[in-house]
Every structure is written in C-alpha cells, then in structure tokens.
Amino acid sequence: MKIAIAGTGYVGLVSAVVLAHVGHHVVCVDVDETKIEQLKKGICPIHEPDLPELMTENFCRLAFTTDYAAAYSDKDIIFIAVGTPEKVDGSANMSYVYAVAEQIAASVTRDCVVVVKSTVPIGTNEKVEQHLKKHLKRDVAIEVVSNPEFLSQGTAIKDMLHGSRIVVGTDSESARRVIASIYENLDQPVIFTDRRSAEMIKYASNDFLALKISYINEIANICEVLGANVVDVARGMGMDPRIGDKFLRAGIGYGGSCFPKDTKALHWLGNFHDQELKTVKAAIEVNENQKLRLIKKARKYYSSFEGITVAVLGLTFKPGTDDLREAPSLANIPILLDDGAKVKAYDPCGVENFKRKVSGDIVYCATPEETLRDADICFILTEWPEVMELQPNHFLTMRRPIILDGRNCYDPGLMGDYPLIYDSIGRTIISNLD
C-alpha cells in the first residue's frame, strides 16, 4: 500500500511513524517548510515519548515533503490529519481539511481512498467527498472514509500501537478491506460503522471524558467545603466497574488540543440543530472556572499579587508533551503578571513554546528547586515527574512556603509535618504557618 499523510502534527506524524513501524511506506506532507526540513534530517519537531526513537528506527520507510502534488498523485490511501481548531463561536474551523481536499483533488491520478483522521463535525466526511468530486481534475474514483484518532499526547505511540479500538466509518466494502489491511498488523479490535456514527464516536468519547473530569472537579470543590478527601472519594468511586477509575483525578481542569475544542464544537453543533447538549455545556463552564481555581485560592493569602514572587511549576497542559494549547498556565500567568507579580517558572520542555505566547516579568529556571527559592507562593500546574518527586523540605527555601497544588502531587499527611501551607484540590488545607 502506498500511503500519504497530510499534516505532520501530533496525530499525522505519530500515525506515519506507527504505520512505517508495521511495514508501510509513508510520505508525510506539510505546509510548514521548517518542520519538513527538520523531519528530513531526522529531527522530531515535537516532544512525544518514544517518537524520535521509533522515527529513527523506521526512517527508511518514511519520506517528508511540502510537494503535495507529487505526494498525492499515485497513492492508494491518503490520510487527512490536519488541525480542526476552534473558531470564535466555538465551531470547528474546517478550512485546513477542505484545503487538503482541494489539493488531493488537483493531484490524484488514480483511484484512491481518502481517510479523514482529523476530528471533524458530523457530516463532514460526506462534504469532503462532495468537495473532492467537485474539484477533481481527472476521471478517478475516490472513496472517503472516517477513521478518527483516539491517541493522547504524552502516550501517543503506546496508544496507537495498543489502542482500545480502531473506528472505521464507511459503507463501502472495498474501502473497508483497504483500511482493514492497513491496520492488520496492529492487534486491535476494528469497529466498522457508517461515517456519521464514526465521526460522532470521536466527539461523544472526548466529551464524555471531559464531563467526567469536570464532574470530579465539582465534587472536589464541594469536598473542600465539607471536609472530605476527593482522592479517597475518587478511589472509592473508581472501584465500581460501572464508573471506572480513569479520568477521575481532580485538578485544575482539562486543557490541550482536544477536549476544550471538541466540547465546544459538539455543543455548537447541538445548538445549530436546536438540540442543546446541556451536560456538555456544564462541563465547559466548570472547566473554565476550574482553570482559575488556584488564583482564587491565592487571593486568600494575598489580596494583591503586586511585588510578590510566584513560583510556577509546569507550563504544558499535561506531562509528557511540549504542547501548550489551552494549558492552565496560559490562563493563570497573565493574571499574575497583570496584577504585578514576578513569576519564576519551570517546565522541562514547554518553555520555548511558552515564550512565544506570553511575555512579561518571567524568569525561567532550570530546576524546580531553583524556581522555589525565595518565592512567596507556589502554583503547581503540571504534574511532571520532576515536580512529583519534590520532598516537603524542598519547599522550605521559599520566603513563604505556601503551596497551591493544582494536580494533587503530594500526600497532605506528609506535608503536615512541615512549617508550610499546603492547599490542594478537594482535600483539607494543611496550614502550619503563623
């Protein structure tokens, strides 16, 4: 099978490398010349565990180009894995997907299957097919198949190699066979549906997980008021197989490139069809508030942040990635800076991306320990292993050891033996400072 993939982002590049790993030859196309130049040299442009190693291992079956016409002309399968970011009104921006569809239509010289891997609103695959047919330059047959992706950043390679399922939406028997053969070396159940159901499986799954996170965060907030411990509560809930123990970790909300935009896109679509999704709307609202939970907590200790030094541990939306899309750091740090705080920040791989998005009085530190020194308060935003490994005494180098832990990294019992304030999510505050 000759394969091309449009988009070398978190989904496109990981898909390419995994498909190469199971023996396919893959040409990766992107409009970003810098990225393609890096990739041609074997440099992985994103931080994703195991990706650089697997890319190097399978480099002989990978090619990278900006020349889409040459790449698409003679392929059996072309994946579309470009972004579908959020528009101002919350709907999904489909311009990148349609731009690729036009490029494919202008380039193909033989029958092929176009696979939409990007997360797209229900009905998009049909529209992509119409769009392709409208712009086709030659007399060839194209089938459009929905194949949404379920990987998570930080564990993308593992997720793709050992995923829970592969969803394929098509009514065409021949397209089914083509897609099944691509994935035959990945030992995963393949679910075949119609295209609209496949598109909906992706949104419904992501929105359900977002809902679960917002639910446990609301439970955490009321645990704080009522003196219960949300970690124990989640453990007790998660042992019930009807509930399950995943996505029940209370914190400062979800971020990243998927949950925020996919909740908003489905909510927008519901409204458009006069079918409001009230649960999804609640998940979005709870998350917006939860992102600023630490700011609210910090106001208990400082009515103004003017002149205080805030140590921020973690900038990326989760550990294991350099991605900052919708990260709580982007919501919290500008508020601190606007209110006159000096910020010291640590992140093992998100600093360069953060510098491109936020400027101001920020000192970037090489270690969590250096970040904490002489700080007046600490915000923990990402549970990087380096942050989780800190011991209570590491916080005693702060001018005032007030720790606001947005990711529940430590045992409050342990913190209780030290002269500090430890204020986490959904658990009783440890307050040992005068």
Min dist CB 133 to ligand NAD, Å, is 19
- Residue 151 as a binder of ligand NAD (CB under 6 A): the answer is yes
Q: Determine the residue with CB nearest ligand NAD.
A: 9
The residue type at 291: K
Q: Which of residues 176-195 bind ligand NAD (CB under 6 A)?
A: none
61 is in an annotated binding site: no
What is the closest distance, in whole angstroms, from the C-beta atom of residue 143 to ligand NAD in the complex?
20
Do 418 and 411 form a contact (C-beta atoms < 8 A)? no
255-314 binders of ligand NAD (CB under 6 A): 257-258
Does position 83 bind ligand NAD by CB under 6 A? yes
Q: Which of 190, 189, 182, 186 is nearest to 161 (CA)?
A: 186
Q: Is the dihedral of CA 386, 392, 397, 403 positive or negative?
A: positive
Using rule CB under 6 A, residue 30 touches ligand NAD:
yes
Q: With contacts defined by CB under 6 A, name the span among 138-146, 147-155, 306-314, 423-431 that binds ligand NAD.
A: 147-155
The least CB distance from residue 350 to ligand NAD, in Å, is 15
Walk across the sheet containing 112-116 and list its strands.
62-65, 25-29, 2-6, 77-80, 112-116, 142-146, 166-169, 190-193
**Taking the CB of residue 277, how many other CB atoms lie within 10 A of it?**
20
CB of 305 to ligand NAD, least distance (A): 33
Q: Which is nearer to ligand NAD, 136 or 292 (CB)?
A: 136
Residue 2 annotated as binding? no
Quick check: 372 and 311 in contact, CB under 8 A?
A: yes
| Torsions phi, psi for 89 (to 5 deg) | -85, 0
**How many residues at the interface with ligand NAD, by CB under 6 A?**
27
Residues 236-265 binding ligand NAD (CB under 6 A) are: 257-258
Sign of CA dihedral 303, 306, 312, 318: positive
Whether 30 has a binding-site annotation, put simply, is: yes
Q: Closest separation between CB of residue 153 and ligand NAD, Å?
A: 4
- DSSP 8-state secondary structure symbol assigned to residue 200: H
Q: Which stretch binds ligand NAD (CB under 6 A): 148-156, 213-221, 228-236, 350-358?
A: 148-156
The verdict on 199 binding ligand NAD (CB under 6 A) reads no
By the 8 A CB rule, do 432 and 419 touch?
yes
Strand order in the sheet with 430-431: 362-364, 342-346, 309-313, 377-380, 402-405, 421-423, 430-431
Q: Helix 293-301 crosses helix 328-338 at what angle (to 10 degrees)?
A: 30
Cα 161 to Cα 54, 59, 168, 183, 189, distances in angstroms:
11, 17, 16, 10, 12
Has 409 been annotated as catalytic? no
Of the candidate spans 95-103, 121-129, 164-172, 339-347, the one that interacts with ligand NAD by CB under 6 A turns out to be 95-103
Catalytic residue ranges: 258
Residues that bind ligand NAD in the complex, under the rule CB under 6 A:
6-12, 29-32, 35, 81-84, 96, 99-100, 103, 118-119, 149, 151, 153, 257-258
Q: Which residues are annotated as a binding site for NAD(+)?
A: 30, 35, 84, 119, 261, 325
Q: Which residues are annotated as a binding site for substrate?
A: 202, 247-251, 255, 318
